[in-house]
Amino acid sequence: MSNELAYDLHVEELSTSRRRFTLTVGSDAVKSELDRAFLQLKNDARLPGFRPGKVPRNVLETRFGRQVRAEVGARLVDRAWRQVSRDVPVAGQPLLESQDEIGAAGFSFTIAVDVKPEVAASGYRGIAVSYKSRTVSDDAVEAAIQRKLQSKAKLTEVTDGRAVEAGDFVLTSLKLEADGAVVVEEPGTLVNTRADRFYPGLESLLIGLSVGGSASGSVAIGASQLAHLKGKSFEATVTVIAVQAYQAPALDDDSARDLGYEGGVDAMRGAIRMELETDAQEADRTDARVALLQKLVDAHSFDVPDGLVDEQYQALVEEMRVRRAYAGQDARSIRFSDAELADLRNRARFAARAAILLASIAKQEGLLVTDADLDKKIAEISQMRGQTVAAIRGYLEREKAMPVLRDRIQEEKTLEWLLDNAELQPSAE
């Protein structure tokens, strides 16, 4: 038996991007839904003086009629609108403007919603796109090598007699005094001269000393984890006992192999150059995508529904929130300035216009999203997040996000098609 709901539909065009849908569900469907609801209630209701499952319908009508009709009405609205919206390019959240009381004559309600405008994109083949082309210098390769070597740095004793530098760990004899009284006396405590937890402020005396050197002076202890020291000034005396520093391995065939590069230093340098050139080419292509979209949007004038802009805006806000949380900011403290929100709103408007145009081009060129495209994207997300493909697919299905992902894939596929058919004009960076 089909689960489709029968209804009459009247559509009113309020503007080029907004429609009003009036739906009327017939009396037979309403009666069927009410009968089902009251039957369920009869089986569940527990009322004094009646055996379970034996409460008369008229008693249930008197006690629970208004509530049951409201619940049935909400279900009918949801079922009917889901059927209608399958064939409507909805942009944003629908607004339930009005609904009748459920009665013997049937049930009517009205929904207004923004819709994506039908735009016939033109002139999109062979767009001339200028972008800066990046080159990878020898200095950039050497800098990348040093970063990789630094990732293998180990804390080692400084034995060449050099003075303490910022970032060193200094084993020091320490005495702090206030008002003539000794507050702290440590025969040997390790101080991080870049970000010490207990004695921030001592670096002003330690930096520049060599092993065996001493210094005295007034210091203000900053954000210490020791409550009795935090934010106070002391007369300090320090003596450097030993110095440790992170030491990166020398660049040789052994360190190249430890970093995962077979074939020695030359092979490592070549592989890193190739990695950087791949990154540069992708950055070039990203710049070309942005330039192409800008030209495409500038060449077409049409109204964009507020609902679609709002959807893009909320997505951008959430993306920025997630980025800041990943960067270490407490999610509860994340706030955006008026300027940032205004910028996100402008970007959302641009993204909405671009999405409409890309959908139009995809339709005109028959650029469809296949199951293979969807499987590939889910696999990419799985690898990026370190979760199984099954977990990502399950999440998308539970959140009903598959259509959104398909739209994103189609946009990416269409944009790549446009780039492949554009006149790319690279210029030196």
Structure tokens at 217: 């002076």
Which candidate, 408, 355, 417, places its Cα nearest to that of 380? 408
Structure tokens at 390: 């099954």
Residue 19 clears pLDDT 80, i.e. is over it: yes
The pLDDT, as a whole number, for residue 1 is 40
User: Is 393 buried (19+), middle (13-18) or exposed (0-12) by CB count in 10 A?
Assistant: middle
**Domains of the chain by range and CATH?**
7-114 (3.30.70.1050), 154-247 (3.10.50.40), 262-428 (1.10.3120.10)
- For helices 371-385 and 389-398, the axis angle rounded to 10 degrees is 110
Residue 397 clears pLDDT 70, i.e. is over it: yes
User: Could you give the CA distance from residue 188 to residue 242 in angstroms, rounded to a whole number?
Assistant: 10
Residues 56-66 pLDDT 10s: 888 888 888 88
Residues 97-115 pLDDT 10s: 999 888 767 899 999 998 8
In terms of pTM, does the model score above 0.85?
Answer: no
The pLDDT, as a whole number, for residue 286 is 93
The pLDDT, as a whole number, for residue 2 is 55
The pLDDT, as a whole number, for residue 307 is 84
Residue 428 clears pLDDT 80, i.e. is over it: no
The pLDDT, as a whole number, for residue 315 is 87
Which has the minimum average pLDDT: 63-67, 125-129, 140-144, 270-274?
63-67
User: Could you give the CA distance from residue 411 to residue 405 in angstroms, rounded to a whole number?
Assistant: 10
Residues 158-205 pLDDT 10s: 999 999 999 999 999 999 999 889 999 999 999 999 989 999 999 999
The pLDDT, as a whole number, for residue 116 is 85
Check if the beta carbon of residue 345 is closer than 8 Å to that of residue 313.
Answer: yes
Residue 243 clears pLDDT 90, i.e. is over it: yes
The pLDDT, as a whole number, for residue 344 is 94
Is the four-CA dihedral 391, 393, 398, 401 of positive or negative sign?
Answer: positive
User: Could you give the CA distance from residue 66 to residue 257 in angstroms, rounded to a whole number?
Assistant: 76
Which candidate, 97, 92, 82, places its Cα nearest to that of 114? 92
Residues 206-232 pLDDT 10s: 999 999 999 999 999 988 888 888 889
How high does pLDDT run on average in the chain?
A: 91
Residues 264-283 pLDDT 10s: 999 999 999 999 999 999 99
Cα–Cα distance list, 215 to 126, 233, 240, 241 (Å): 71, 16, 9, 13
Measured in Å, how far apart are the chain's first and last C-alpha atoms?
65
Which has the minimum average pLDDT: 2-6, 98-102, 305-309?
2-6
Q: Give the whole-number percent of the chain exceeding pLDDT 90.
A: 65
Mean pLDDT, residues 122-141: 93
Q: Give the whole-number percent of the chain exceeding pLDDT 70.
A: 99
Mean pLDDT, residues 14-33: 89
User: Could you give the CA distance from residue 157 to residue 33 in angstroms, rounded to a whole number?
Assistant: 80
- Residue 429 pLDDT class (50, 70, 90 cuts): low
Mean pLDDT, residues 233-238: 94
Residue 293 clears pLDDT 90, i.e. is over it: yes
Q: Across-strand partners of 172?
A: 189, 240
Strand ranges in 92-232 using DSSP code E only, listed in sequence order: 95-99, 107-114, 128-133, 154-157, 169-178, 181-192, 214-220
Which residues, in sequence order, are CB contacts of 290 under 8 Å at separation 6+? none
